[in-house]
């Protein structure tokens, strides 16, 4: 359990849980070449969601169950590497943007040195259903969006993600979405042809949809295990007496928890706790970011006006690079699982001890 510094008192807690939707390193699940005919649906055991010792209604329990199942799902097990490899040599594979994402970076054959194709699956994007409805995937709800920039072409397929729930509730589980995003980056001296990014996205999604029913689980041991990916960011809720919190909620990301804490003779304060990935911890380059060492842990503290962001590493670097990865993009392939605390406060230093407490308890 995470200890919380500072005394607090309040009125009765209002518990809100809201989920819209929701990796693994080099050793995460990889799909072998070949197209599976059918992937058998995984047996779904009953899952009693962690309510953090709070009394909440069945519909909120259902939403908490969705969050827990999404944390157990391996996004790299849903990204078919063999499909990406058909468009070039895969030089990076694994989580690069967040714990609930997986990215494959390929170097297209015949392309220039700095040409690359990036394919990312995201299990908890901000849903974008404003694009063109794509009817190519049977009963699965899919929306397509394209982007064009000077040196890149992009195509994103947003699709309904079917996550089972076993908690009984009158409410209908909300539709959850995930995305397959494909981007081709081309250097000015590129001599290769443009890759049909929407065709790559469609090929990837077709294979992904055959893998979803099996609910591939994250590695629980070995090099592919990321302990923070299995952790619940709302675990700290149980450290408070019910009257000490005005409210707590999980937003559209199962790795984010928002708490509003009562303050004596002051307005309530709100924290956003996020479990995610940070670029490999090197000395900060931003003018508004500084290093702070507390209890032997090095944190990155960024202050922007009255906004505060503190990041604390909790595990070793995840290196998604494969042999042949170009030096220029190696840094993007090396990230650290980290606890991030954000709050609107004029003094970040007051939140450093709390961030360290959360980081210390995140993996227990």
User: Percent of the chain beyond pLDDT 90?
Assistant: 51
The answer to whether residue 219 scores a pLDDT higher than 80 is yes
* Contact yes or no for 127/137 (Cβ under 8 A): no
Query: What is the per-residue pLDDT for 329?
Result: 63
**Rounded to whole angstroms, how far apart are CA atoms 355 and 275?**
12
Are residue 233 and residue 322 in the same domain, yes or no?
A: yes
241 contact partners, CB below 8 Å, separation of at least 6: none
Q: What is the pTM of this model?
A: 0.84
157 inside domain: yes
In a domain, 167, yes or no: yes
Alpha-carbon separation of residue 19 from 16, 118, 121, 277 (angstroms): 10, 28, 18, 20
Helix (H, G, I), strand (E, B) or coil at 102: strand
Residues 230 and 183 reside in one and the same domain: no
Q: Report the DSSP beta bridge partners of residue 181.
A: 120, 156
Tell me which of 186 and 123 has the higher pLDDT.
123
Separation of alpha carbons 95 and 27, rounded Å: 11
Q: Are strands 318-319 and 176-185 parallel, antiparallel or unpaired?
A: unpaired
Same domain membership, residue 231 and residue 190: no
Coil, helix or strand at residue 69: helix
pLDDT tens-digit series, residues 297-309 = 999 999 988 899 9
CA 79 to chain centre: 14
CA dist 18 → 24, 94, 151, 164, 273 (Å):
25, 28, 38, 16, 15
Host domain of residue 313: 14-18+224-362
Residue range 22-49: average pLDDT? 53
Q: What is the pLDDT of residue 180?
A: 98
Residue 38 inside a domain? The answer is no
Distance of CA 314 to the CA centre of its chain: 16
- State whether 93 and 147 are in the same domain: yes
> Do 159 and 236 lie in a common domain?
no
Instruction: Tell me the CA distances in angstroms from 122 to 76, 85, 90, 177, 306, one per residue in order.
Output: 10, 19, 19, 9, 31
Q: Is the domain of 235 the same as that of 208? A: no
Cα 243 → chain centroid: 31
Question: Would 6 be classed as within a structural domain?
Answer: no
Residue 101 has pLDDT above 70, yes or no: yes
Of 186, 214, 242, which residue constitutes the final position of a domain?
214
Mean of the pLDDT values across residues 50-54? 83
Domain C-terminal end among 190, 214, 238: 214
Residue 152 lies in a domain: yes
Q: Is 60 among the domain residues?
A: no
Query: Among positive and negative, which fits the CA dihedral 221, 223, 224, 225?
Result: positive
The C-alpha atoms of residue 144 and residue 142 are separated, in whole angstroms, by 7
Number of domains in the chain: 2
| Token output for 55 | 């009394």
Mapping DSSP to helix (H, G, I), strand (E, B) and coil, where does residue 179 land? strand
Q: Are 218 and 134 contacting, i.e. CB atoms less than 8 angstroms apart?
A: no
Pick the last residue of a domain from 164, 183, 214. 214
Q: Are residues 173 and 228 in the same domain?
A: no
Model confidence over 69-93: pLDDT tens digits? Answer: 999 999 999 999 999 999 999 999 9
Count of CA atoms in the C-beta half-sphere (13 A) of 136: 14
pLDDT of residue 122: 97
Q: Work out whether the CA dihedral 109, 82, 148, 23 comes out positive or negative.
A: negative
105 & 187 share domain: yes
Does residue 219 fall inside a structural domain? no
Considering the domain architecture, whether residues 230 and 336 belong to the same structural domain is answered as: yes
Residue 259 included in any domain: yes
Residue 105 pairs in a beta bridge with 92, 118
Whether residues 193 and 246 share a domain: the answer is no
Strand blocks (E) in 295-351: 297-304, 307-313, 318-319, 334-344
Cβ-proximal residues to 135 (8 Å cutoff; 6+ apart), any chain: 142
Q: Is the pLDDT of residue 182 over 80?
A: yes
Do 206 and 312 share a domain, yes or no? no
Give start and end residues of each alpha helix (H) in the chain: 58-72, 81-85, 197-211, 327-330, 352-362
Whether residues 263 and 294 fall in one domain: yes
Instruction: Please state the rounded mean pLDDT for residues 133-139.
Output: 91
> Residue 2: pLDDT band by 50, 70, 90 thresholds?
very low
Backbone φ, ψ for residue 248 (5° rounding): -150, 150
Count of residues in the chain: 364
Identify the H or E element spanning 267. Answer: strand 266-279
């Amino acid at each position: 359990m995470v200890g919380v510094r500072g005394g607090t008192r309040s009125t009765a807690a209002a518990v809100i849980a809201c989920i819209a939707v929701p990796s693994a390193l080099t050793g995460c699940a990889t799909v072998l070449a070949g197209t599976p005919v059918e992937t058998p649906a995984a047996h779904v055991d009953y899952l009693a969601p962690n309510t953090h010792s709070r009394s909440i209604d069945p519909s909120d329990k259902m939403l908490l169950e969705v969050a827990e199942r999404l944390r157990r799902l391996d996004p790299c097990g849903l990204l078919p590497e063999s499909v990406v490899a058909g468009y070039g040599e895969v030089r990076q594979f694994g989580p690069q943007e967040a714990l609930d994402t997986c990215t494959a970076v390929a170097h297209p054959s015949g392309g220039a040195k700095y040409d690359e194709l990036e394919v990312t699956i995201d299990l908890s994007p901000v849903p974008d259903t404003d694009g063109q409805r794509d009817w190519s995937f049977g009963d699965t709800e899919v929306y397509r969006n394209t982007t064009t920039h000077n040196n890149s072409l992009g195509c994103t397929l947003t699709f309904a993600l079917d996550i089972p729930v076993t908690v009984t509730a009158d409410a209908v589980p909300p539709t959850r979405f995930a995305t397959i995003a494909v981007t081709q980056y081309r250097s000015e001296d590129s001599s290769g042809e443009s890759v049909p990014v929407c065709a790559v996205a469609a090929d990837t999604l077709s294979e992904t949809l055959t893998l979803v029913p099996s609910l591939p689980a994250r590695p629980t041991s070995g090099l592919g295990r990321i302990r923070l990916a299995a952790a619940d960011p709302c675990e700290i809720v149980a450290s408070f007496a019910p009257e000490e919190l005005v409210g707590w909620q999980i937003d559209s990301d199962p790795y984010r928890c928002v708490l509003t804490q009562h303050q004596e003779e002051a307005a309530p304060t709100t924290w956003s706790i996020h479990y995610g990935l940070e670029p490999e911890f090197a000395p900060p380059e931003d003018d508004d970011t500084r290093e702070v060492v507390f209890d032997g842990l090095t944190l990155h503290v960024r202050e922007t006006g009255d906004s505060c962001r503190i990041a604390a590493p909790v595990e070793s670097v995840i290196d998604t690079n494969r042999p042949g990865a170009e030096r220029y993009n190696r840094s993007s392939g090396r990230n650290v699982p980290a606890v991030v605390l954000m709050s609107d406060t004029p003094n970040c230093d007051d939140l450093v001890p709390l961030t360290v407490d959360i980081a210390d308890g995140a993996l227990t």
